[in-house]
Each structure stands twice: as C-alpha cells, then as structure tokens.
Structure 1
Amino acid sequence: MPGPSPPLHRSSFNGNQVQIVSMTYLLIAVAASMVLASAASAQGRKVAVLVGVNEYQKPAFTSLRFARADVEAVDAELKKLGFTTTLLRGPEATRTRIEDTIDRVVAPLGKDDLMLVMLAGHGQQIEVTGIDGLPSEDAFFCPYDGINRDAESLYSLSHLIDRQLIPNVGRRIVMVDACRNVADDVGRGIQGNATIALPEDTAILFSCRSGQRSFENDTLRHGLFTYAVLEGLRGGAARDGKIVWSQLVSYVDWVMATEQLRRHMPDGTPQVPISAGGIPFAVLGEGNWSEVPTEIQRPKQEELDHSFVNSIGMKFQKIHPGSFIMGSPIDQPGRRPEERPHRVDVSREFHLSVFEVSQCDYEFVMETNPSYFSDWGDGAERLAGQLSDQRPVEQVSWQDANEFCRRLSKLPVEVRAGRRYRLPTEAEWEYACRAGSTAAYGFGDVYRDGQANADGRFASASGGGIFLKQTADIASYRPNAFGIYNMSGNVSEWCQDWFGAAYYDVSPTADPVGPTSGTKRVVRGGSWFDHPYLLRCGSRQSADPGSREPFVGIRVVCDVR
C-alpha cells in the first residue's frame, strides 16, 4: 500500500505592499464589506463567489488534494452567515467563466454590500509589462484551462482587485493561502516577488509569513489555514453574537499557534499567518454559537486532567496541590532579607499558562499591543526583521493585566467552558516556578550563561556573558519540571498580591494571598534586563501597579469550574 501523500506547502506574503512569493497552491478570498453610514444604517447584501480546482486540463499543473474541499466548506459556512453564494469547481472554473461570473455578481452591488471571492488552486507570478511600459510582476490564479506561465490564459489578481472589485464595492478584505511542494517545484512555482499595492480600506490576511510554508493535511482534509478560518466561521471568532473581521483574523492567528495544528506541521516547521492593511468595523455574520462549540474551542476532559488549550490558543498546565518551602536560605547568593524561608501549603489545584502572555494573546483580547519590542513599538529596530507576535507582551500595568484576565474570562467560549482567569498569587507563582525543586533556580543552584534570558554579563567574570538586550519568544529556553517556560527571565510577571517586605513573618501557612493593602504589587521571575540573581525562584520584586516597563509582562491562572 502506498504511503500517505506528502504535505503541500503554501507560500508567503509580506508587508503593506503585498509580496507574493513562489506560489503553487493559491487560496484567495477577497471580501468587500459595508460601512455604516450612521448608527441606524442597515447591513447590505452579502454575496460570494468561490472557485476551487484540484485537477487541471493541462499536464503542467499537478493535481491538488483539498482546494475544492476548502471552498466547499467555506461556502457552507458563509451560507449559514447569510451569504448568497456561487460555487465554481473543476471544469466549470475556466478563466472566462470565473471573470464573467464575478462581473455578473458585482454588477448590482454598491458601497453598503459585502462581496467575497475565494480562489483555491494553483497560482503563479509572471513578469508582465505595466501601464507605464516597464516590466513588473503580477500574481495569477490558474483556472482549469490555464496554460503554464501564459499570462493571457491565467486570471490576474490585480485585475480582480483593481478592475472588478474596487469600482463596485466600498471595502475589501483579502485572504491568501498559497502552497507549494518545494521538492517538486519545477514548472509549478515561480521564484521572485510580485507586488499588489493595497488600496485604501483594504485588509489582507496571509496564511504564512515570508520564508515559511503553508501546509495541507490528510487528517483534517483541508489546508491548516483554511481549517483555522473554518473554526472561526463556525463560532470560534464570535463575540457577543457577531463574527467581526478583525476578530476572525486574530482567532485564525491563534488557532494556528495551538498544538492541535502545530502537530500537523512537518518537522516542527512553523506556519504563522500575517495580516496587512486595515479596515473599519466589519461584521461577517451574526448568530448564537453557544450550543455548537468547535473542536478547538472546548478541550476534552482527559486534556483537562493535565493540560488544555483555551479558545484563543493559550496552553495551560494543571498544577496539583502540595507543600513547599517558600523563600531562600540565608546563604544563597543574591538573597535578600524579605525572602525568609517558611512552609506554604497550596491546597487547591490551579491551571497556569505554560507560556507568558504573548503579544498576539494580548492583542486578540485587548485589541491593542503596547509592547516596546513589537513590530510597531519603539524597540522595533532591535527586532532586526524578526516577528514579534510570539514574544511576551510588555509595557503593561498591573491594572492592564487584570483587565486582560477580565476580558478573557468574558469571551463566550470561556464562559461556556466555565473558565475564569486571574493573576497568580505570589505563593502559587513560586510553587510553580520551583516545580518540586529546592534549588535557587528552576534549572539548578547555579546560573549558567544561556539558560534563561537575562543580563548574562553579571554572571561572567569577564563581563562577556550573553545579553540579548530584548525579549525572546515565549517558547524559548527549556521548560521546568512542570513544563512551564520562562518562569525565570525574559519578562518579569505581575502577581495578584500587594507587596509587603515583612509579610512572610505573618503570612498563613495555607494559601497566602499577600497583605490586605499596600502601595506596590509583587513582580516575580526577573527579566532580560536583570542580573541573574533576580531570576531565582525566591527572589521578590515589586512595582507601582500603574507602571509600564518593557521588562514586565503577564502570566495567568485559569480556574476551571
């Protein structure tokens, strides 16, 4: 019996000028959304044209597996959201028929209507002569009767956007899922770059970033990106009974980061969606999804016994009750007087986020990203082109951290699942950091250069230790014995407690929650900015609850009722 088919890969796009890189399997969804003229304005018509081609008339194009399945599934979900759809598949999807169908559908539309076009199949980019007479590259969808590298027989995406959609609809949303089989690329993928300028009021979501690949999967029977889109349309991206475009974008980003999809990425190769452009508030559909949870929205019970992934992709580890010695021995290097060792009993289990709250986590819930080390932050130059969405959020106050927990708890899927989020107590934080160890650090009694993200110059006699001068991705460095990442270093983490230097002298043995009042809140774990001594499990720090620093972030607890 032959083995399973190799995964297909979808190429990437980059920047506010859309760069299309080496495409062979192309899924393009172009949507135009209505704008409310006033608070009383009614939503216009919602129509869609969906095109899927798995097999081609010409031998130059290899057969695909899930292009038709992708458009058929999206077609079904759009109908549930109130769209009137037209579906073209296989031999129906000739160049002439695609163009004529879109012209016919857009002809009666106006500025208050919503139009969606989805193309699934092969794609190419070809050098053509521009209107200025100069050579330029354009991206093309390959219809059923297309000829390899023949622009006249292919369907120009620039033509679709500039000639068919922009004159007829007010706003446009574009989703692109492009795939290529690198090992068998000859005659199917075009090397180089093509550029489509984004007009005003246009937003685009791409299945992966520049240099990454986009995958299909036999188990899911879809491309991973399309599967994430479908989960969002089935209610995962809903808020207050509505699916809004901006929330669908964030939801897709997070589903792609969950273990459910990452395990389908060959050899651990990441596939991270990227969005560009902007569009005002656009509602794709309304409904009540409370009784139809999707596969990713609600974890199975056996996952809850140990770990689970919530509705926005955050992973949580179950921490069992236990006792430990909180604080530090008097002879421990870096130890301070307020770290007096004493017994603490953690009497209740809790679920702690495996990773620090990332910038994508925070932006999904709060709709803003205040981080210094972000694509648009003041520290963007230090990123040197690296992506920031999987870096920890920072420059957040204690109040911001609590508001994040409150809003996350209010998401419909979290409410239905009985999950409520909060900051950890200082005792819970240290218990999880130690993970059963009495050592100074989660990784031993001695800090060695490169074990965590700190200012390693202090740990080297020569002053030449590793100092990144910035945050690292939330999955960087090795986890502790509980499977929790970056409890030491990267960013310090807010705790729920007020800080009291003498609190250990009077704190109860069971489940201490800190003083009843104070002026500063507890911060734990140390950061990229700190001496390694501050990364010790027992090290205590504090900060004004209103302060926002590029080395302080968030880790949260989930209480499951």
Structure 2
Amino acid sequence: MKGSVFPRLVPWMLLWSISFLPAQETNRRYALVIGNSAYQHVDQLVNPANDAADIAAKLRSLGFQVDLRLNALNADMGRAIADYTRQLSVNNNNEGFFWYAGHGLQINGENYLLPVDIDAQDDVAVMYNSYPLNRLLLSLEQNARNKLNVVVLDACRDNPFRNLSGGRRGISRGLGTVEHPPQDLFIMFSTAPGTVAADGEQGKRNSPFAEAFLKYMDSTEILPVMASLVARETLQLTGGKQRPFQNGSIVSDIYYSLNPQTPSRTTSIPAPAPSQPAETLRLNTLSAQVPERPAPVPENFVRIAGGTFMMGSPGSEPGRDDDNEIQHRVNIGDFYLKAREVTVGEFREFVSASGYATTAETSGGGEVLNFRTNTWEIRADANWKNPRIEQRDNHPVVMVSWFDAVNYCNWLSAREGLSPAYVINGTRVSRNRNAQSGTAGYRLPTEAEWEYACRAGNSAAYTTGGALSAEQANYNGKLNSNNPNGLYRERTTPVGSFAPNAWGLYDMHGNVWEWCWDWNGDYPVGPLAQDPAGPELGTERINRGGAWSSSARSLRSAYRSFNTPVTNGNNLGFRIARSAE
C-alpha cells in the first residue's frame, strides 16, 4: 500500500493505544472488614459494628484499601469475600487482612461465620445459611494465591442457637482451631477454642479484644509479638477470663508487621536484663525497640541476644523431675536459632544433593509408635521418607538420628560457604571452634541455649504460663490427667502451625523432640555457668521440647530427655543454630 497515510498516524495511534493498556499493578494491601451486630432472628450484639468501623479506619491509616461491610446479609458476605479474593489475586505480592466480628460457632468441628439474616431451625439449616471459614481459607489458598494473609476473628460470642427447637446435636459454642491452615496465613481468634468471647459492656464502644487489638495496631513489632501483646491486654481487660490464641504459619516473611513503618524486617529480639524479676523481663522483652542498624540475621532465623537466666525448674513446679532439673544460673552469649524445625522438604534437598543415607536406612530400620499397643517397635521399612505417620514437605522431618542432624548441619554450612561446625570421623564428632568470626557454620543448639530460647524470658513451666492445652501445641492430650479425652492428633503438624513464643520461635513445645549438642549428664555446679555445652563424654545425647506423642509434662521448658545418638524414632527431629559474630 504505497502512499498510505498510516505512517503519519502512528504517533497518535500509539499514544491512544498506550492510554488504554492496563497499568501494571503494584503490590497493594487489601482489607475486608465485616461487623455484624443487628441480627434479625437471633440475639443482637452490642459492639461488632463499632469494632469493625474502628478497625477499618485504623487499617486505612496503615495503607490498606478497605472494604467495610456492616450488618452483612448472607449473600452480601459471599459477594464481598469473592471480590476481596479477586483483588488479592491480581498480584501475588499483595497482602490481605480479613476481620470478622459477630456470631460464630462450630458444627461438627467446622467453623461458621453468621450473617445478620441467619434464621434456622436446625444445625443443617445453619450450615447452609452461614459462611464456612474453610471456604474463605480455601479461596485465599487456591484463588487469591497472594503473598500473605491475616485473618482475625472476634466471632466466639455466646451460642445464638442455644434454644433451637430443631436438631442441634452438632452445634458447639465458640470456634475451633484450624488443623491445616494454608502457608503464609496467620489466624488470630479472640478467645480459646470452644470458649466464648465477651461482646463488651453497654456504654463501651468496643469489645475487649477489639480494644486491645486497636491499641497495638500501630506497633512495629513483628506480627506474632504484636498478637502476644494483644492477648495479654485482652486477658487483663477481662480479668483473665478471655485468652486469645493464634493459628497458622508465616513462612515467606516471618518479620511481617501491620505497620509498614517497621524499622527492619530482620529483627533482632533482645534478651531481658538479668537483674529484673522474671515477669518484668518478659514485658520488657516484648516491648523492646528494634535497633536502628541491627546485625543481619540469616534467613528464617531469629537472633537471640545473650543474657543470664535460671535453667531448670523450681521445686514447686508440677511434674518436675527433682533429680534432673536442679535450678542453676547460666549465662548465654548471642546466637541465631532457626524459627522453625527443619522440614521434610529441607531434609530431602540435603539427601538429594549429597546422596546421604540416614541411620535408619543403613542400620535395619526405624522406630515407630504402635498405636494399638502404645509401644515403640523397629520397622525395617521405616525411615524419614516413610515414617508411618502422615507427612508433607512442610512437616518437621522425623526419624533422624543425632548423627543425621550433625551431617545435615555440615552440608548446609558447606553449601553456603561457611566453616563446618563439626569435624566428623565416622561416629566421632567434635566441635570446630576455630572458625573465624562471621564464617561459623550451622550446628545444633546446646541444651542451655535451647532452654534459654524456649523460655523467651518466661520463668513459668511453659511459655504460655503454668499450663499448656493441646490447642496451643501438638502433643498427646489424652495423657493429660485433667482431661483424659483430650485432643491427640497422632502425627506431626506443619511447622509453625501454632503461636510462636515471645521471641518468634515456633514449636518449642511439642511436635517433635529436638536434638541438642550435649551429652546427657548432671548440670554444672557453681555460681554461674558460662555457655555450658554438657559433659565431654557420654552415651546419650540430649533432646528437648516434647513431641506429638508426649504428655504435657514432657513439654515443660525445663524437661530433659535423652537418647543414644543413633536413635531415630518418628517423633524425633531437630532445629539448627549458628553462633553470632
């Protein structure tokens, strides 16, 4: 087409076409906030609408684009959640925040959020006329597929169907824990599973939980620490009657904060000063300021600042081993500790890259728990790949001996160009203490480091206080003398499924026993032990923390267990440490 005028139109057409191209979506923060107070057929609630409006305003000030829905009907809730997940799906780096306040309950173990037009005569009708929490979680995992999601539920009010005339056999008050939350989803419930949250007093604008949450939303603390502060504030506001709890697992960004002005995503969490009472120490630790220029922290690790603490348990602690937990003062230097236990996926990468064969694979099998007889048995085909319990890549690896763990540490150190922490000659293993500053490789924590990190400034039996429920950690709840019918999962759970301690460490209580460096032996005698590493010789190595098969007593911070270094049960795993510069 010679002589065409098309070339003269190109600049104008190009500008026109560019103006209609969709803009490249940058990562955003989206929030959906629902507050249901004005129920039409069941008991109305005082504060959810106020709570939602105040939470929405605060989120906007923190940079979220907020969709606020007050007194939502069933159809409205469904549409709002669908729109919300669509927004999140535009960019996989988007961050989501979902808040629901209103009636919520369990039916046959499933959690449901109730719209204001709920009108049901039996539990089946309730299920079909409310919004299942699992549908939201599944939509976030499979449809949104975004970077990170926070779900907060102030939904455990008194059962609105307690006087239901029809069938209600499956209805339970409160909400229940989420067994398998998607990765990078943090869930916070306003109260413990199966219990009821306070709606708030007449004349007060917010529920106690919402009041506490609003107080700390400006905090630059990492999310698990911020949630711990909210939990403590809620307990104080309710006279100890309402204890919020956390559920879920943040993997890709462990240092996430609601406040975008967080000084650093590589937070170094300071230890408390030794001269103060234990409870004061914990409060100071949680509110500590992040240094302006913290030392770099290895990915997925927490820097533990050294300090002095009382190792062992007081004579008054229930379940104490009088001969094995004698209290003594210990001073610990700075070190790094992995926030989560080593996973199946991480261990598989080691085996694939190195060709390593574990103790169970080279010595005739591994030890598994026979659930019928409750005894441990050696099975020739049992190993880390076939532990006889359900495992996925995000579960802690099990059936690893102490030797397997130290070999993993040296492999990981070599892969990252660090000096191996161990000199390994067959079954003879010694510490390499000649590595220059900054090049020291990965290793197992010492027993003293492990207990110091587990306690996180807390002198109680558990980091949760004097008791620990099976909803707070993975252990055998049926072995609890106070509740012989308690929860027992009979397997590991994904790492990070439960709330971390005050220093951001997950599963320090339960899930799997964790190998430590030390030989088993008596604690050192003296006024102050400096970074003790156990006896020079021995026959068993220490493991700590309890496991999915353990009683609550074995999960206490001071509890000591030990096994020969070739032991490889399907409740044995490990986490790794590094010496700080």
- Higher relative CO (CA 8 A, sep ≥ 6), structure 1 or 2? 1
- TM-score category by the smaller chain? 0.3 to 0.5
> If the length of structure 1 is used for normalisation, what is the TM-score?
0.45
